[in-house]
Structures are given as C-alpha cells and as structure tokens.
C-alpha cells in the first residue's frame, strides 16, 4: 500500500510511504498502516480499534464501496449504496456497520428518493435494530438507531441521546455532526447547531451537502452574507450543484423572493433524478401566487417520482391549506396517517376544524396529543408538522369559548422555532404569524393592545418571507381587527408582493 499526502491547493507532493503487508486480516492491516502514517506525520489521533474477527476482506470492501456511494445524497447513489451493503450482509450476516449503512441509506431514500414512508420505514427499523443488537457500542449502529427515533418515532430526546453516544464512541464519524445539529436546531439552540455543522464541513470540506446545510444555519441566525459566501464556494466548485441550488432556493423562499426560489428549485428538480422534494415545494409556492393550475401539475411531478411519497403528501396538504380545500386536506391526511399517524391526524383534525365539525376535530386532536404524550414530550415532538394539532386546538378552544390548556405550549413552540430560522416544518407557519394569532387570543390584552402587537408580529412575518395570504383569511382570530386600516394595509401589502413575484415568474418563462 502506498500512502501519499498532497496539498489540494497547489498539488504539491508533501509526503509518501509504501507499506508491504500480508492481507490476512484487513482490519489489522488497516490499523497498523494508519498508526504508521500517524507516527510518520507526528500527528496525535485517536485511533479506534476497528478490528472485528471474522469479517472477510470481500465483505469489508463492499461495505467501503457502500459508504463511498452513500456520501452522495441522491437516489441513484443511495440505491447503489444499498446494493453494496446488502451484498456485504449476504457474505457476513453479523456485520453491524453494513446494517447501519443500510438503515442510513434508506433514511435518505425515503427523503430524497420518492419511496413511500410505509415502505421504507420497516426496512430502516429492522436494519437499525439489527446493527445495534450486534454491537451496542458501535458508533454507526448508534447513529442509525438515532435516525430511526428522529425520523420515524419522532422522539428527538432519544435520538439526541443516541447521537451523543455515537459522537463519544467515534468523534471522526462525519455524518453524526450533521444529524446532531438538526436535533440542536429543533431544541432551540441554533448557535450550537451551527458549530456542529461547521465541524462537518471541516471534516469533509468537499461535501457540498454539508456546506449547504452550514449555509442554512448561517442564514437561520441572520448571517446572510456568510451564508451566500458558503453557497458561492459550492458554485465555484460545481455551478449546477443541487444542494447549493436547493439551499439558495430555501433562502429565497424565506425572504419572499418566490420567483428566484422557484427557478432554483426547478434546477434541483431537473438535475436530481428521483427526488420529489423540489416539485412539492414549487407546488406550494405557485399556489401562494394563485397559480393553481401549475401547482397541480407540480404535485403530479412529485407523484411521478414515487406514489404517496412524503413530499407529494406534504405538498398536497400544504396546497390544500393555501387553497382552503378541506376535502383535499382530509384525503392527504388520511394517506399520510398510514405511515405517520401524528402528522396525518394533525391535518385531518385541522380539516375538520375548518369544515366546522368541531366535535370530530377535538376527537382527532385529542388522539394526536395522546400519541405524542403532550405536554410531557412537547420539547422533542411539537415543532414538527403535527404542530397543526396544537395550533388547531387553540383555535377550537377559542371558537367554543373554552379556556385553552394548549395556548402556552403553542406560544412556547413559536418562540422556540423563531430562534432557528422562524419556520415550522410547514412553510406557511411562520413563528411570527403564529405569535400574531396567539396575541389575538390573549384575553389579558385589550383590543388596541392586541392590534398593535399583532401588527408587529405580522410585519416581522412578512419580512421573513411570509406570503400565505390565505392563512390570514382562514383563521378567525383576526376577525376583530379585519376591518381596521392597519390590517387592510398588511393584507394589501402581501397581495402586492405576491403580484410582483407572480409577474416576475411569468416573465422568466417558468410557467410556460
């Protein structure tokens, strides 16, 4: 084996050495050569003992090929990684890292690959559990199980614990820094999340995925210039990089530049085969701009990439809410509930609420709160799409003139989310918009105080990209101030901004 150290900036050959060993045990040879290189370079590294008796060189090679493919977050590469991991497992059925890799790749395939949740989730659960059964201290197995709790069981407290164990076992495991940063963001610690995303970039500077997510964190805490600096590094490396365009589209969306956002999402859709995400987001965006026919076409584009995939269903639900089509929301919620009962039922309950079926809405919301163990688990589980249950329940209590035990939880969730970018998983649920609504429900304030505070929150919502004028129409909390000049001005301002963006989008040829 010949090891070389090259300066990537100028290509200068810094150091090299050759090592001749018998290939009796790949893990022993790997560690021996690594330690020799460390000693030669006078580096102090924590070299973990990766020796695992009985794992063949052939299985290990397949596992490494799987890991290499899995570094690229898109459907073709994750499918290739799955194939390698399955081949490794076929040779070595007790190979925990291969099971962990399999679970991790299926996490991405459910997200980026258009596979329906009810198809992917059982595969993820089985592989993650098997990995941890084989080795309870294995960092990759711990990470895989953390992904299970974060993505499937929606228990971020348990996910956080598992990720922390994984980091302790192997501080060099790059993906764990990204996944742990997500948990920190949800817990309302964006500055700490930024540190971990920066660490992922430091460990893997060529990964455009990690750099794009680092840019997202910078934008979320208001460091917009630095966020675009990171995106420019990506585009200098690869002008058509889909992760760079996706994150720039997200930033444009959250700053109200919907025309630019749609064009970037379109590039992602074209250049990332199999991923339904961008099509679904474009559908929501177009519906906000009253381009309903085109929105329906993009929902179909999302569906073409996997029937009943998570993004098709989320796009359909969000379009329904914008359109105030409660039957459409009910149907989307029922399909979603098959794989994600909490989120699906949150949408079902919200649909019943808007249809005036308060008894059914309360029944469904109650089942959501029971399932997510609210308020005990509110820290870990409320700032997700099932926030619609909490949001809707506050509305329901006010409509039926009942004191709401959910008001404080909703206000807390809004303030928590506002520390990390200002949006729940639903792009119309700006934390500032939610706070404006909750202000109107606050019985401790008189009407003038409510009006003043609501205007402040709505101004902040508009500044942070809130453009969902239909949300202003459908929530009754604004009824007492709906005819005031201040509220009319806010409404007209959003209408004007949306008209401007719609014209820019049409002019660009996007809708042709």
User: For residue range 373-400, what is the model confidence (pLDDT) as tens digits?
Assistant: 776 665 455 556 677 888 889 889 988 8
Same structural domain for residues 69 and 166? Answer: yes
188: left (phi > 0), else alpha (psi -120 to 50), else beta? left
Give the Cβ contact number of residue 499 at 10 Å: 12
CB 502 within 8 A of CB 290: yes
Secondary structure of residue 388 in the 3-state scheme? helix
Same structural domain for residues 254 and 366? Answer: no
Same structural domain for residues 369 and 490? Answer: yes
* CA nearest neighbour of 423 among 205, 228, 176, 256: 256
Same structural domain for residues 372 and 275? Answer: no
CB 414 within 8 A of CB 435: yes
State the number of CA atoms in the 13 A half-sphere of 17 facing the CB. Answer: 11
Domain assignment present for residue 398? The answer is: yes
Instruction: Evaluate if residue 24 carries a pLDDT over 80.
Output: no
Domain assignment present for residue 220? The answer is: yes
Percent of the chain beyond pLDDT 70? 85
- The count of structural domains within the chain is 3
Same structural domain for residues 266 and 375? Answer: no
Instruction: Evaluate if residue 431 carries a pLDDT over 80.
Output: yes
pLDDT of residue 46: 38
User: Residue 457: which pLDDT band, with cuts at 50, 70 and 90?
Assistant: very high
pLDDT of residue 384: 60
CA gap 59, 99 in Å, rounded = 12
Give the DSSP per-residue string, 294-313: HHHHHHHHHHHTSTT-HHHH
Query: Taking the chain, what is the end-to-end CA distance rounded to the nearest angstrom?
Result: 56
Check the CA dihedral 433-436-438-441 and report its sign. Answer: negative
Same structural domain for residues 130 and 232? Answer: yes
Instruction: Evaluate if residue 342 carries a pLDDT over 90.
Output: no
Domain assignment present for residue 393? The answer is: yes
Residue 375, preceding peptide bond in cis (omega within 30° of 0):
yes
Domain assignment present for residue 299? The answer is: no
pLDDT of residue 445: 92
Same structural domain for residues 230 and 142? Answer: yes
pLDDT tens for each residue of 113-153: 999 999 999 999 999 999 999 999 999 999 999 999 988 87
Same structural domain for residues 220 and 96? Answer: yes
Instruction: Find the angle CA(293)-CA(296)-CA(297) to the nearest 5 degrees.
Output: 90
Which of 288, 316, 333 is the last residue in one of the domains? 288
Same structural domain for residues 20 and 151? Answer: no
Domain assignment present for residue 122? The answer is: yes
Domain assignment present for residue 313? The answer is: no
Instruction: Evaluate if residue 44 carries a pLDDT over 50.
Output: no
Which of 246, 269, 288 is the last residue in one of the domains? 288
Q: In which domain, by residue range, is 30 found?
A: 2-41
User: Residue 407: which pLDDT band, with cuts at 50, 70 and 90?
Assistant: confident
Same structural domain for residues 19 and 101? Answer: no
Least confident stretch, 6-15, 26-35, 145-154, 371-380 = 6-15
Domain assignment present for residue 215? The answer is: yes
Give Cα 100 distance to the centre of its chain.
Answer: 20
pLDDT tens for each residue of 123-133: 999 999 999 99
Q: Which residues, in sequence order, are bridge partners of residue 423?
A: 430
User: Residue 464: which pLDDT band, with cuts at 50, 70 and 90?
Assistant: confident
Same structural domain for residues 140 and 81? Answer: yes
Domain assignment present for residue 388? The answer is: yes
Both structure tokens of 185: 């963001």
CB 382 within 8 A of CB 185: no
Same structural domain for residues 94 and 134? Answer: yes
Secondary structure of residue 13 in the 3-state scheme? strand
CATH at 144: 1.25.40.10
């Amino acid at each position: 084996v010949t090891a070389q150290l090259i300066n990537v900036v100028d290509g200068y050959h810094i150091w090299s050495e050759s090592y001749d060993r018998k290939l009796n045990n790949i893990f022993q040879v790997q560690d021996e050569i690594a330690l020799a290189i460390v000693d030669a370079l006078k580096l102090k590294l924590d070299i973990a003992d990766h020796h695992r008796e009985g794992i063949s060189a052939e299985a290990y090679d397949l596992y490494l090929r799987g890991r290499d493919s899995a570094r690229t977050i898109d459907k073709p590469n994750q499918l290739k990684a799955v194939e390698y991991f399955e081949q490794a497992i076929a040779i070595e059925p007790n190979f925990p890292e291969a099971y962990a890799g399999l679970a991790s790749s299926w996490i991405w395939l459910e997200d980026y690959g258009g596979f329906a949740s009810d198809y992917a989730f059982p595969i993820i659960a089985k592989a993650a559990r098997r990995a941890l059964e084989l080795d309870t201290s294995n960092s990759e197995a711990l990470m895989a199980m953390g992904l299970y709790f974060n993505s499937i069981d929606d228990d971020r407290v348990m996910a956080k614990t598992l990720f922390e164990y994984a980091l302790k076992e192997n501080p060099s495991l790059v993906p764990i820094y990204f996944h742990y940063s997500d948990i920190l963001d949800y817990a309302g610690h964006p500055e700490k999340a930024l540190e971990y995303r920066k660490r992922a970039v430091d460990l893997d500077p060529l990964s455009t995925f990690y750099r794009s997510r680092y840019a997202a964190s910078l934008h979320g805490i208001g460091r917009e210039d630095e966020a675009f600096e990171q995106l420019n590094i990506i585009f200098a490396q690869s002008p058509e990089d889909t992760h760079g365009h996706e994150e720039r589209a997200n930033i444009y969306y959250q700053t109200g530049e919907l025309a630019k956002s749609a064009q970037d999402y379109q590039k992602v859709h074209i250049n990332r085969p199999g991923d339904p995400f961008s099509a679904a987001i474009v559908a929501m965006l177009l519906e906000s701009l009253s381009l309903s026919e085109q929105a329906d076409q993009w929902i179909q584009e999302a569906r073409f990439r996997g029937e009943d995939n998570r993004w098709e269903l989320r796009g359909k639900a969000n379009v329904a809410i914008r359109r105030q089509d409660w039957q459409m929301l009910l149907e989307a919620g029922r399909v979603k509930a098959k794989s994600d009962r909490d989120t699906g039922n949150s949408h079902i309950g919200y649909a019943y609420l808007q249809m005036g079926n308060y008894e059914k809405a309360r029944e469904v919301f109650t089942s959501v709160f029971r399932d997510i163990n609210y308020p005990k688990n509110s820290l870990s589980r409320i700032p997700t799409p099932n926030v619609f249950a909490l949001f809707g329940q506050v509305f329901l209590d006010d409509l039926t003139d009942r004191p709401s035990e959910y008001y404080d939880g909703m206000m807390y969730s809004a303030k928590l989310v506002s520390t990390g970018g200002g949006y729940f998983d639903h792009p119309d649920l700006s934390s500032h918009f939610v706070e404006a609504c909750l202000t109107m429900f606050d019985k401790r304030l008189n009407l003038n105080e409510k009006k003043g505070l609501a205007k402040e929150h709505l101004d902040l919502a508009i500044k942070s990209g809130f453009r969902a004028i239909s949300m202003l129409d459908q929530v009754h909390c604004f009824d007492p101030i709906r005819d005031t000049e201040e509220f009319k001005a806010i409404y007209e301002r959003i209408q004007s901004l949306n008209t401007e963006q719609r014209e820019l989008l049409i002019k660009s040829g996007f809708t042709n």
